[in-house]
Structure 1
Amino acid sequence: MKSIQFSLVFISAILLVNCSPSKKISGNYTHEVECMGSELDGSITLKTWGKGKNRADALEQARKEAINAVLFIGIRNGKPDCDSRPILNAPNIRENQADYFSTFFKDEGAYKKFVSGKDESFGKKERVQGRDGEVMFGFIVRVLRSDLKKQMISDEILNIEK
């Protein structure tokens, strides 16, 4: 009888050890753009993420991600100082204006005029992403939101009713 009880306790202990929760890696988490603050000139400071083959590629992607969030998604995380509404909130605007936005977001596109050149890494958040060797970095960037909105109006992407 004691051997049966011992066997049950031993098997239970083995099962408990082997059934521990799996460890999660940070590659499975999404990193959303966060508001760090807003300025009186109509610009906003954002914490954003980018990944690429090196830091320069990651910076380019982080800048695009910041502009994309300001234009289409809105800033919902971080401090409440930033205007949380996206500049363009019309349904399917990105798909309807696909030619414009593919040119706007190309590597040397017009989006660069609306992101400050003084980007500061807030900590090297580096992760290998699968076999491709990409790394992820976090950056603090300033987006000229009011200038970006004016550009969308002058390019007739955003229609303002008078």
Structure 2
Amino acid sequence: MMKIIVNRTKSFFVLLFVIATTANAQKNNKANKDTVAWRYEIEAVQTGTQGSYLIKVWSYSKKPEVAIEQAKKNAVHGIIFQGFTGSQSVAGQKPLTTNVNLEVEKEDFFKPFFADGGKYMKFVSMSNDGAVASGDRMKVGKEYKIGVVVSVNVANLRKDLEEAGIIKALGAGFN
């Protein structure tokens, strides 16, 4: 009798583990699906510490928590490929690359770089622990537009991309 109870208990915990793992995988798939189109907007917030930008990233998703999670990935992507316009108090920044095809040409680099928990995480952090101000959460049609302030260490990001041969060093054109 005791053996049956132990086996059922083990089966129950295995079932719970499978359910939790599946739910987490579905959440990651949803986040990746929302990111595939790279739908986001970036605006300058203030000058960060030397070598970093403090920016607000507006991300879109049907679930607010997915948009918040994707903000870090979108921020790094935006710094590399889009840049951002400035405001009255903060200068805008050009993207790290002007090659519009770079992401496709270097897919072997960027796919793992932007994967969940990928290397991009080394260069970005939430500036306010992921808290979203009431004015930074909007319902747009069937989805949410969420604004999150993040800090991106652009100096280290640039250095890493240069060392990997993804972008040219700033002085490379003058040699």
Same fold by TM-score, threshold 0.5 exceeded? yes
Q: How far apart are 1:48 and its partner, in Å?
A: 1.0
Q: How far apart are 1:57 and its partner, in Å?
A: 1.3
Pick closer, same or farther for the CA change 1:142–1:76 going to 2, 3 Å. Answer: same
Percentage of identical aligned residues: 28
1:114-153 equivalence runs, <5 A:
114-118=123-127, 119-123=130-134, 124-127=136-139, 129-130=141-142, 134-153=143-162
1:154 aligns with 2:159: no
CA contact (8 A) 2:112 2:118 kept: yes
Partner amino acid, structure 2, of 1:112: M
1:74 aligns with 2:83: yes
Q: How far apart are 1:51 and its partner, in Å?
A: 2.8
* Aligned with residue 41 of structure 1, among 31, 50, 66: 50
Q: Distance in 1 between matches of 2:40 and 2:87?
A: 12
What residue in structure 2 maps to residue 50 of structure 1? 59
For normalisation by structure 2, the TM-score amounts to 0.64
Where does structure 1 differ by over 6 angstroms across 4 or more consecutive aligned residues? none
Return 5+ residue gaps in structure 2 as ranges: 1-38
1:85 aligns with 2:87: no
Q: Distance in 2 between matches of 1:154 and 1:56?
A: 34
SS of the residue corresponding to residue 75 of structure 1 reads coil
* Backbone CA RMSD of aligned residues: 2.3
Q: Deviations over 1:21-68 (max 9, x none)?
A: xxxxxxxxx862101122342111111112335333111222222111
CA contact (8 A) 1:120 1:141 kept: no
1:105 aligns with 2:117: no
Q: Deviations over 1:67-113 (max 9, x none)?
A: 11110111114356345211112341111111211111112111111
For normalisation by structure 1, the TM-score amounts to 0.68
Q: How far apart are 1:120 and its partner, in Å?
A: 3.8
SS of the residue corresponding to residue 95 of structure 1 reads helix
- The structure carrying a bigger helix percent of its residues is 2
Q: Distance in 2 between matches of 1:34 and 1:46?
A: 6
